[in-house]
A and B are shown apart, each in its own frame.
Chain A
Amino acid sequence: DAEITQSPRHKITETGRQVTLACHQTWNHNNMFWYRQDLGHGLRLIHYSYGVHDTNKGEVSDGYSVSRSNTEDLPLTLESAASSQTSVYFCATGVDRMGNKQFFGPGTRLTVL
């Protein structure tokens, strides 16, 4: 079955460290998204990609970067982790150009101390 996997599922790091969260999908979807979920804010879009070598900034992109070298993967990098980036991160893929629905991964809980 097609799926989205995220790794690690839990991560504790220190302020100032670089952190990369992995997202891998076997849906063969062109559209991929990264969200963060925080209490009182719901899901907020960080970065998104419509295909290989395409990346775009979302609502809360400061301090994050992504790269898309193939269809299956969209890693999210925190260049210099900050305590404000403690959150649960979700990767998602879009089923078609209309974005009628998105499929989400299980999430990564990141704690920045």
Chain B
Amino acid sequence: DQQVKQNSPSLSVQEGRISILNCDYTNSMFDYFLWYKKYPAEGPTFLISISSIKDKNEDGRFTVFLNKSAKHLSLHIVPSQPGDSAVYFCAARVDMNYGGSQGNLIFGKGTKLSVKP
């Protein structure tokens, strides 16, 4: 049973516009969420994260929004650039106070973003 779901396998956006990548989760015990970006033939790289006690975190062009009641988070990229074309993974961590293992993350299947010039 998939606990972290990225239901859109791909997304295409025009350069300069906003990219919105979505992630849904089922486990109420997740306390921390992360987004990773992955280019072909490279390992994933950390992009941005958010604690479950917050609803928004911003870092430059990247903003992550968390809606706990809906068990939904989204990554906004504004403005989108061709270099943002990559696969984006949503990941979540189970609160250690509720049986989560130290540092273990559960990943979604990823969304491939294509930003067209």
Contacts and interface: CB of A to CB of B under 8 A. Distances in A.
Interface of A: 4, 31, 33, 35, 40-45, 48, 50, 56, 58, 90, 92, 94, 96-107
Interface stretch (B10-18, B62-70, B76-84, B102-110): B102-110
A106 B108 CA distance: 19
A31 B43 contact: no
Contacts, number: 67
Nearest to A97: B102
B49 A100 contact: yes
Which of B6, B34, B107 has most A Cβ within 10 Å? B107
B93 A99 contact: yes
A42 B103 contact: no
Interface of B: 6, 32, 34, 36, 41-46, 49, 89, 91, 93, 101-110
Contacts of A40: 109
Nearest to B44: A104
Contact of B49 (A35, A101, A104): A101
B109 A50 contact: no
A42 B108 contact: yes
Contact of A41 (B44, B46, B109): B109
19 contacts: A4-B43, A31-B102, A42-B6, A42-B89, A42-B108, A42-B109, A50-B102, A90-B43, A92-B43, A94-B102, A97-B102, A100-B32, A100-B34, A102-B103, A102-B105, A104-B43, A104-B44, A106-B41, A107-B43
A43 B102 contact: no
Nearest to B94: A99
A101 B34 contact: yes
Given A31-B102, A50-B102, A97-B102, A43 B46 contact: no
Nearest to A102: B105
B42 to A, nearest CB: 6
Given A99-B93, A107-B41, A45 B49 contact: no
B103 A105 contact: no
